[in-house]
Amino acid sequence: MTSTITHHTLSRRQFSVGDLQFDALIGGEGPLVMLLHGFPESGRSWHAQVQALAEAGYRAVAPDLRGYGGSSKPPRVEDYALMRSVGDVVGIADALGADRFTVVGHDWGGGLAWHAALAVPERVAAVFVLGIPFTPRSPTPPDPTFAAIPRETFFYIRYFQEIGRAERELDRDLKYSLKTLYWAASGDAPLGQWQVPKQGDAGILDGQSPPTGDLAWLSDADLAACVATFEHAGFGPPLNWFRNLLRNWQETERFAGESVRQPTGFVVGEKDVSLLLLRDAIETMPAKVPDLRVNLILPGVGHWTQQEAATKVNATLLDFLDSVGPP
């Protein structure tokens, strides 16, 4: 989109979708771009992208997803199944009067973006995902117990399945927990720090320690703002996203064999744990996403792609949107 670049003041806005409320960072006017965050973040993780999109002539909206920040936190685990959040995305677009929109996602928000593209292709004009490759629905159900991984070996997603234990550990000191997780999965940490080997009965923070100073890409003031988004309800609701693996598989049966056919962009950090764990899916993705226009690995960047490499992500996203044109 060609437009005169002007500074836009960003604001926060509440949206009602059914019985739920969603708080969102919003800026600009023009074609709608919805930015969907991951764990453990909030809509504010897209601040640099919302600003860049607003200045380039788009309406950018970065909601706190259900369970996060200023948005509703329903009580049941099943409330956090992925298809519920697809409905949230569509509901926010409806509230903004947008028939068609682009979805941009990171981490869990990336999985949400892929499923929105499959579920409502008539609404999703384009898809741009950070970190999480598109993987077609497996013909066999996932195993939430991860029985193939020895019980003596710690695996964070299995650890997250047990209701109560992980949230007790992470809620004990929110600043310490968030800073530790952010650092361990960032490009600044030694490769493999996120999954440092430890016993199966360990906690996710065991064997970790955050740097004493600011993170290179997140100031202490920004970290304090992140902490504030978790102060009301803690880690419990966000962790419920991980507790619907089997339910998500059951509820997406209609997508078996489907490909994402919208114009698509994909970016992953060279040091992102996703690249280490999902390399095969990333390498085979062009065969499953026929209009993959961006397929980029960012050197030295870890998991928090849009924050660690904001300038590069912004430029790549805007170039992608230019290639797609109006929805």
Q: What does each of the 327 residues of the chain score in pLDDT, given as a tens digit? A: 434 445 578 999 999 999 999 999 999 999 999 999 999 999 999 999 999 999 999 999 999 999 999 999 999 999 999 999 999 999 999 999 999 999 999 999 999 999 999 999 999 999 999 999 999 999 999 999 999 999 999 999 999 999 999 999 999 999 999 999 999 999 999 988 888 889 999 999 999 888 888 999 999 999 999 999 999 999 999 999 999 999 999 999 999 999 999 999 999 999 999 988 899 999 999 999 999 999 999 999 999 999 999 999 999 999 999 999 987
- Please report whether residue 221 resides in a domain: no
**Within a domain: residue 50?**
yes
Is residue 202, in this structure, part of any structural domain at all? no
List active site positions: 107, 303
Burial 207-238 (b: 16+ CB within 10 A, else e): ebebeeeebebbeeebbeebbebbeeebbbbb
Counting the structural domains of the chain, the total is 1
Rounded CA-CA distance 232/72 in Å is: 11
Could you read off the pLDDT of 130-157 as tens digits, one per residue? 999 999 999 999 999 999 999 999 999 9
Other C-beta atoms within 10 Å of 178: how many?
22
Give the CATH number, domain containing residue 128.
3.40.50.1820
Residue pLDDT, tens place only, 289-310: 999 999 999 999 999 999 999 9
Q: What is the chain's alpha carbon radius of gyration, rounded to the nearest angstrom?
A: 19
Domain assignment present for 182: no
- Look up the pTM and report it: 0.96
| H/E stretch holding 61 | strand 59-63
CB-based contacts of 313, cutoff 8 Å, min separation 6: 48, 49, 130, 267, 298, 305, 306
Q: CA 35 to CA 32: how far, in whole Å?
A: 10
- In the β-sheet with 264-269, what is the strand arrangement from edge to edge? 11-17, 20-27, 59-63, 32-36, 101-106, 124-130, 264-269, 292-298
Q: Rounded distance, CA 72 to CA 240, Å?
A: 13
Q: Structural domain of residue 44, as residue ranges?
A: 11-153+245-324
Cα(326)–Cα(285) distance, rounded to whole angstroms? 25
Query: What pLDDT is recorded for position 6?
Result: 52
Please give the pLDDT value at position 209.
83
Contact 309, 298 (CB under 8 A): yes
CB 240 within 8 A of CB 67: yes
Whether residue 253 is contained in a domain is answered as: yes
